[in-house]
Amino acid sequence: ERLVLQRVCSSARDEWHADTVDALGAQLRLSIVVLGASGDLAKKKTYPALFHLFKKGFLPRRLQIVGYARSKMSSPELRDRLRPFLEKESNGDGEAVEQFLNSCCYLAGDYDAPDGYERLGAALAGWEAQMCVGSSAPPPGPRLGRLFYLALPPSVYPQVCQRLREHCGTLYGKGSNGGAAASASAAAGGGANGGGGNGGEGGSRRGAAAPSALLPPEGSFVRLILEKPFGHDLQSSEVLATQIGSFWPEEQLYRIDHYLGKELVQNMLMLRFANPIFGAFFNRHYISNIQITFKEPFGTEGRGGYFDQYGIIRDVIQNHLIQVLALLTMEAPVSLHPDDIRDEKVKVLRCVAPPGPADAVVGQYSADQGQPGYLDDPTVPAGSRTPTFAAVRLLVRNERWDGVPIIIKAGKALNERLAAVRGKGADRGDQQHFVRRDELRAAWAIFTPLLAAVDAGAVPVHTYPYGSRGPSAADTLANDSGYVRT
């Protein structure tokens, strides 16, 4: 998550022509709004990830991070709630923790009613106005940025996207005029500082907002970051994407796939296309099959309620691992521009034939050696058939990969922690890190028929003992595809 967020911030940094972090800090006034700030993801992942960026200097000095959720909480209460999670990441640097927390404030509001968003929009605009005063940047002033991060259940995405667009989606929009707009710190009961030591700058000249007739300076931005899951199948994903797309254009949307931020995944393009020797062997003439494996050595452990609605194919394979497959098998992009990379990914995903039941083995872990089975998790509905393991054989029907089976295998409660890609040969001679809508559609199109068969009970669910390698039928599928375990 840290790396993914870093991408949003650092790609923005490139756009602002800032050569150094200091230049970045001087150039931008950035508001980050965490919607669902009272939740699990926010405290465990989102805020700690932002703290990392802050410590590394990837965030501008003039920064406010506004938490928004329905829970009634003051800004100091939010900070107290976050502090232990940040301290874990701080390497004992308590001062950095407090500096970061000084940038954080909280605003309580509903997700469906306009009132909270109106207050939020006014607070953002007021703070921006305050931060622009006294800047040496030529008119219309320094660059402004708003990042909205939805750490919320997807059921509320459409209404939140609509309200954010209406009340907070326009720089110099509603509430930004004149001196009446309250600063975020005032609206939220104190807390957002002027950005690591610059608080005094705006404070004495508050109220001199940028004139509304001016357009925001070039390089200003408003972006919306979404967490998975992006739908349940092709149809629900399309409905959600259309709803969100009616309020936010694709270029302002960042759908997080944490896997795309991982270093190995990021390096895959370099490995494939910057290395002519490696690249020359990357095709069906030299590779007979590929295994993409993701193993977790633990079960759901009390979070089965969430997992049970999705299962391993929706949770890991349809999104993260299919992205790995796309990066592994795509053709060289015209350039490293994110859209060129994503165009190539979409092209190769469209060549993947949807697998049928005969191409899949699914399983569910059972109790073994003192460890509970999936059905022993009290948050899992009794008798659930949700797969915690799946091995799926895919074929990429194009010139490069025709006839090369690719097996994606993922499971919980297995014998080890592993994320690996293996290719077998010898016998046969920056929005790039975010998922575009057409990629999402192509990925769901691959898996929706299989998921429908699994949901309908048309695919047998094998049991496998906690801590094992998974169902033996998965080995049979791999062997039948030409994979020899060495």
Interacting residue ranges for ligand NDP, rule: CB under 6 A: 36, 38-42, 45, 69-71, 111, 151-156, 227-229
Nearer to ligand NDP, 13 or 320 (CB): 320
**Residue 395 β-bridge partners:** 405
Nearer to ligand NDP, 107 or 269 (CB): 107
B/e letters for 38-63, b = 16+ CB within 10 Å, e = fewer, are bbebbbebbbbbbbbbbbeebbbbbb
The torsion of the CA quartet 93, 96, 98, 101, rounded to 10 degrees, works out to: -130
Residues with active-site annotation: 320
CB of 310 to ligand NDP, least distance (A): 9
Nearer to ligand NDP, 41 or 473 (CB): 41
Nearer to ligand NDP, 38 or 220 (CB): 38
CB of 386 to ligand NDP, least distance (A): 16
Nearer to ligand NDP, 189 or 467 (CB): 189
Q: Which two tokens stand for residue 204?
A: 């004495």
Nearer to ligand NDP, 229 or 411 (CB): 229
CB of 256 to ligand NDP, least distance (A): 8
Q: Which two tokens stand for residue 78?
A: 């939010």
Nearer to ligand NDP, 62 or 255 (CB): 255
Nearer to ligand NDP, 39 or 338 (CB): 39
**Helix or strand or coil: residue 338?**
helix
Nearer to ligand NDP, 127 or 259 (CB): 259
Those residues with Cβ within 8 angstroms of residue 432's Cβ, 6 or more apart along the chain or in another chain: 260, 336, 338, 341, 342
Question: CB–CB of 482/395 below 8 Å?
Answer: no
- Residue nearest ligand NDP, CB atom distance: 39
CB of 148 to ligand NDP, least distance (A): 14
d(CA 447, CA 428): 29
CB of 85 to ligand NDP, least distance (A): 12
d(CA 373, CA 301): 10
Question: CB–CB of 205/133 below 8 Å?
Answer: yes
d(CA 223, CA 169): 9
In the DSSP assignment, the letter for residue 434 is: B
Helices (H) and strands (E) in the chain, counts: 19, 12
How far does Cα 225 stand from its chain's mean position?
Answer: 7
Question: CB–CB of 136/211 below 8 Å?
Answer: no
CB of 229 to ligand NDP, least distance (A): 6
Give every strand in the sheet of 289-295, ordered side by side: 418-424, 289-295, 405-411, 389-395, 360-366, 461-465
CB of 149 to ligand NDP, least distance (A): 10
Distances 193 to 84, 95, 105, 203 between C-alpha atoms, Å? 21, 15, 9, 10
Rg (C-alpha) for the chain, rounded Å, is: 24
Phi, psi of 31 (to 5 degrees): -110, 130
CB of 300 to ligand NDP, least distance (A): 12
d(CA 256, CA 29): 23
Question: CB–CB of 365/412 below 8 Å?
Answer: yes
Distances 62 to 24, 44, 102, 127, 211 between C-alpha atoms, Å? 10, 24, 12, 10, 20
Q: Are strands 389-395 and 360-366 parallel, antiparallel or unpaired?
A: antiparallel
Question: CB–CB of 117/128 below 8 Å?
Answer: no
CB of 451 to ligand NDP, least distance (A): 17
In the DSSP assignment, the letter for residue 383 is: T
